[in-house]
């Protein structure tokens, strides 16, 4: 069976040359840098998975996995929300627990047993300053 010869797109040829130069300077089976995988995934999206993997001498399954990972929608980090809690006028505040979590993952928990709330602004400023420092 005679297969038709399809020319390799210029973008794949360019990445192919970059990969060959990189491979020539690396010992044995060095892990491929993420930038190459990202470029290869983009080329596979445009020119097809098999032709790209074959031309670049990349593992088909690994490129397919990265291609599907890059096509998933990215989650946006949760936006800061403001919540106001209003107690009934007749309610007596005996105990309260408030928890904060920053975008970096640090947490602050405030628990108090008093008739009046703490100085929220001062507490939040101190927490943010401690995170920066």
Tens digit of each residue's pLDDT (9 = 90 or more) over 19-29: 899 888 888 78
Q: Please give the Cα distance from 102 to 117 (Å, whole number).
A: 21
Is 87 found in the same domain as 33? no
Q: What is the mean pLDDT of residues 92-121?
A: 73
Which residue range is the domain that position 42 belongs to?
10-71
| CA distance linking residue 124 with residue 133, whole number of Å | 14
Domain boundary among 19, 44, 71: 71
**Residues 85, 126: one domain?**
yes
Q: Where is the domain boundary, 27, 51, 71?
A: 71
Q: Quick one: 52 and 90 in the same domain?
A: no
Tell me how many domains the chain contains. 2
96-109 pLDDT per residue, tens:
777 777 767 777 77
More confident residue, 118 or 24: 24
5 within domain boundaries: no
What is the mean pLDDT of the segment spanning 88-116?
72
The pTM assigned to this predicted structure is: 0.50
Q: Is 56 exposed, middle or buried (0-12, 13-18, 19+ CB in 10 A)?
A: buried
């Amino acid at each position: 069976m005679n297969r038709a010869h399809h020319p390799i797109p210029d973008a794949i040829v360019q990445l192919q040359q970059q990969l060959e130069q990189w491979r020539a300077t690396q010992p044995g089976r060095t892990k491929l840098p993420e930038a190459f995988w990202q470029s290869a995934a983009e080329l596979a999206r445009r020119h097809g998975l098999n032709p790209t993997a074959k031309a670049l001498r990349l593992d088909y399954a690994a490129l397919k996995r990265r291609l599907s990972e890059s096509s998933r929608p990215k989650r946006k980090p949760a936006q800061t929300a403001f919540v106001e809690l209003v107690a009934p006028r007749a309610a007596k505040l005996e105990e309260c627990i408030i928890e904060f979590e920053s975008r970096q993952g640090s947490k602050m928990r405030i628990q108090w047993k008093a008739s009046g709330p703490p100085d929220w602004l001062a507490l939040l400023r101190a927490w943010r300053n401690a995170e920066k420092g």
